[in-house]
Chains A and B, each alone.
Chain A
């Protein structure tokens, strides 16, 4: 390992890693909030809501993230005057905002499907019991259905977090200096191939750490779902 190289570009790459984590964290949070109404619409019997949410999910899961990013990032430039008219240009002018927007919309589609699966997995008897106890539908949803749906979806949620971290490397294509962006910059200055291996190790470390802690969290949060002798 070339120490001089590490001393020179290591700090910048660590900062890039921090940018990656911010990007993923913010997108996942916004996407998580958005996923709730989308999942509800997907489960709704109303044809309009169902159709729109189905099309939304199909679009974001069916096309590549990088094409979606290009669509918004370059598309915003084309609509510059229209966006200026409605005072939204300041938002779309910034590559960071465009990237967060696209990542959040993308992960919202995936999270909505995870949540939908979770909600459908909650036994019907639970709802009937809640109804028999006189709980309102809204209370039933937030106190009975949602908590159970989220617990049974923990594993797919963890996978989504990891997929987002890996996918976020695409942000470097639209001038974001995340870990991948810093790595490409460092490589273009040094032509030292080791840079790529250092970056790979950094990504790997973060992904494995998340996997490890997520597993522990899953084991802990689902301990009441296992028979007593297995704990």
Chain B
């Protein structure tokens, strides 16, 4: 028992500080990806609803691709593909520069794309749940398109979309673990390093699982709070 506590101690002897650092990277990646995915997802949902074919067709193709390709493969394509692409662009201007795409950025983009593809479906059904007449009434009263969205449609969309978004957020949080394969120093990667040094895989991977579960627990509490807030105008049954 004492031996295991030693493993978790903070400092040179233990891995507590390394794991905590990994945790901070995981949270940072998650917090950076979420807004990107949400904004992108909402815009794609709007594009899907549009009557302009050149907007709705690409939006649907986008969703199909990112919902059908494994997250791991998307991550590899963004990471290596991004590297090759940026390298080509840079070589066009200067020689002898080797471009390194950060694993963090690649993870953020890849996971953000996947998240936005799923989120756009959630937003789409939430948008459809808001009666058309409300937007029409707002426009008839002289509100601009943006105002209508902001004051009438969006607050209701949030309420309808929250349960779905809450699920997607928990999935996103778990997917950040995939970026460990690109050697980003998040929790799972730090755990792997600890295992390599101590030869205690069961203990450390169980800790890693526990940390993710803790994170999921905290996120779900936050979502419960937002759900209560977003339905504050609703009658209580």
List chain A positions with a Cβ less than 8 A from chain B: 58-59, 62-68, 70-71, 74-75, 77-79, 162, 165-170, 172-173, 180, 183-184, 187, 193, 196-197, 199-200, 203-204, 207-208
| Identity of the chain A residue whose Cβ is nearest the Cβ of B70 in the assembled complex | A169
Which residues of the other chain, A, contact B195 by a CB distance below 8 angstroms?
Answer: 74
State the interface size on chain B (CB cutoff 8 A): 39
B200 at the interface (CB under 8 A from A): yes
Given known pairs A66-B177, A197-B77, A204-B64, the reply for A59 and B213 (CB within 8 Å) is yes
User: Taking CB as reference atom, which chain B residue is nearest A203?
Assistant: B69
Partner of B213, one of A63, A162, A166: A63
User: Could you say which of B64, B69, B177 contacts A64, with CB atoms under 8 Å apart?
Assistant: B177
> B residues engaging A (CB < 8 A)?
64-65, 67-74, 76-77, 80-81, 84, 170, 174-175, 177-178, 180-181, 188, 191-192, 195, 199-202, 205-206, 208-210, 212-213, 216-217
The 6 closest A-B pairs by CB, nearest first: A74-B201, A64-B177, A169-B70, A71-B205, A63-B209, A62-B213
Contact A78 B199 (CB under 8 A): yes
Residue of A nearest to B173 (CB): A64
Q: B202 touches which one: A78, A168, A187 (CB < 8 A)? A: A78
Determine whether the beta carbon of B202 is less than 8 Å from that of A166: no
CA of A67 to CA of B195, assembled, Å: 13
Q: Given contacts A62-B213, A196-B73, are A204 and B68 in contact (CB under 8 A)?
A: yes
Closest Cβ of chain A to B86, distance in Å, is: 13
| Of listed A59, A67, A204, residue having the most chain B CB within 10 A | A67
Q: Which residues of A contact B71 (CB under 8 A)?
A: 166, 169
The distance from the CB of B35 to the nearest CB of chain A, in whole angstroms, is 21
Q: Could you tell me the distance between the alpha carbons of A11 and B237 in the complex, rounded to whole angstroms?
A: 60
Cβ–Cβ contact B217 & A67, under 8 A: no
